[in-house]
Amino acid sequence: MKQVLTIAGSDSGGGAGIQADLKTMTAFGVYGASVITAVTAQNTLGVQGFETVSIDLVAKQLDSVLSDLKFSALKTGMLATSEIIEVVVDKIKEYQVDNLVVDPVMVASSGDILLAEEAITTIKEELIPIAKVITPNLNEAKVLTGRGIEEEVSLEILASELHKLGCEYVLVKGGHQSGEIARDLLYDGVDFIEFSAERIDTKDTHGTGCTLSSAIASNLALEYEIKEAIQRSKKYITEAIKAGCKVGQGNNPVNHFADRKNSIGDFSSSSLKLNST
């Protein structure tokens, strides 16, 4: 079974972070392991607080899993501080894991800040250069290219500027744009490739970024080449948003069961052959 690692924060509400990552990996049939960088007290209404895990314990988690399991891909999500980013980069280099997907999480969809400001430079200078693909949303792409959030700029310009930071591919997500199409743009340094799907009219998009990046990491682990991996992940996130998951009172998470409703029948009592004496 292919193994995939997520290095990210915990979302107690189960919609984003580590929890969304492991659900996504399971849905794609890969084995998901996790290194937790921060523990958030969070629900569908927002982030009520968080604490980072000590550098020592982040390093120990990384050594534990990287020395034992064999990862075909990994993703990073909430890394919170420069010090955590540095230890993550050191360990990825030490254990030489390929197929790094970097989701440069900065702010939760609720508006709560999840990354220290000085850590933005560390992401740019140390993490992005070792990434196979980075998956910033529109605002993250603007911040990483030194722009203000209000500035009007095309996905093409953002993607080509970000590519110069040294990653192999840039996928700028257009989820926060308006219009009938949710358009993401991939750039490999030469060509732009669009991934478009219908925009679903909903506020329940908690965890979309975590889910998409985990889906890409899972599909890279399954040996799909990058465009196919993104295409499959885009289909997954679109269906998961469409199905939704009305679990809380705020912005609800996506539904990881969207594609698998029919498989429930396999586990129903009528389909199980039990020997009773």
Ligand X SMILES: Nc1ncnc2c1ncn2[C@@H]1O[C@H](COP(=O)(O)OP(=O)(O)OP(=O)(O)O)[C@@H](O)[C@H]1O
Ligand Y SMILES: Cc1ncc(COP(=O)(O)O)c(N)n1
Q: Which residues bind ligand X (CB under 6 A)?
A: 16, 109, 137, 173-176, 182, 184, 197, 199-200, 202, 205, 207-210, 212, 234, 237-238, 241
Cβ 154 to ligand X, closest distance in Å? 15
245 as an active site residue: the answer is no
Q: Active-site residue among 76, 209, 234, 238?
A: 209
Q: Active-site residue among 52, 81, 205, 211?
A: 205
Phi, psi for residue 259 in degrees, rounded to 5: -85, -5
Q: Select from ligand Y, ligand X, none the partner in contact with residue 40, using the beta carbon and a kind-dependent cut-off of 5 to 8 Å.
A: ligand Y
Residue 187 three-state SS: strand
Site for ligand Y in 155-184 (CB under 6 A): none
The answer to whether 9 contacts ligand Y (rule: CB under 6 A) is yes
Q: Active-site residue among 44, 76, 135, 210?
A: 210
167 as an active site residue: the answer is no
In this complex, which beta carbon is closest to ligand X, that of residue 3 or of residue 110?
110
The answer to whether 108 contacts ligand Y (rule: CB under 6 A) is yes
Residue 33 three-state SS: strand
208 as an active site residue: the answer is yes
Amino acid at 223: E
Helices (H), 137-179: 138-144, 155-163
Task: Decide if 225 contacts 270 (C-beta within 8 A).
Answer: no
Q: Active-site residue among 24, 44, 145, 208?
A: 208
In this complex, which beta carbon is closest to ligand Y, that of residue 17 or of residue 136?
17
207 as an active site residue: the answer is yes
- Contacts (Cβ under 8 Å, ≥6 apart) of 108: 16, 42, 46, 47, 114
Question: What is the bridge-based pairing of β-strands 181-187 and 169-172?
Answer: antiparallel
Amino acid at 174: G
211 as an active site residue: the answer is no
Amino acid at 39: V
Site for ligand Y in 189-228 (CB under 6 A): 206-210
Site for ligand Y in 21-40 (CB under 6 A): 40
Question: Bridge partners of 170?
Answer: 134, 187
Question: Among candidates 196, 174, 215, which has minimal Cα distance to 27?
Answer: 215
Question: What is the bridge-based pairing of β-strands 71-76 and 100-102?
Answer: parallel
In this complex, which beta carbon is closest to ligand Y, that of residue 17 or of residue 32?
17
Cβ 18 to ligand Y, closest distance in Å? 7
What's the rounded Cα separation, in Å, for the pair 106 and 127? 14
Residues labelled as active-site residues: 173, 205, 207-210
Applying CB under 6 A, the residues found at the interface with ligand Y are 8-9, 11, 16-17, 40, 42, 77-78, 105, 108-109, 206-210
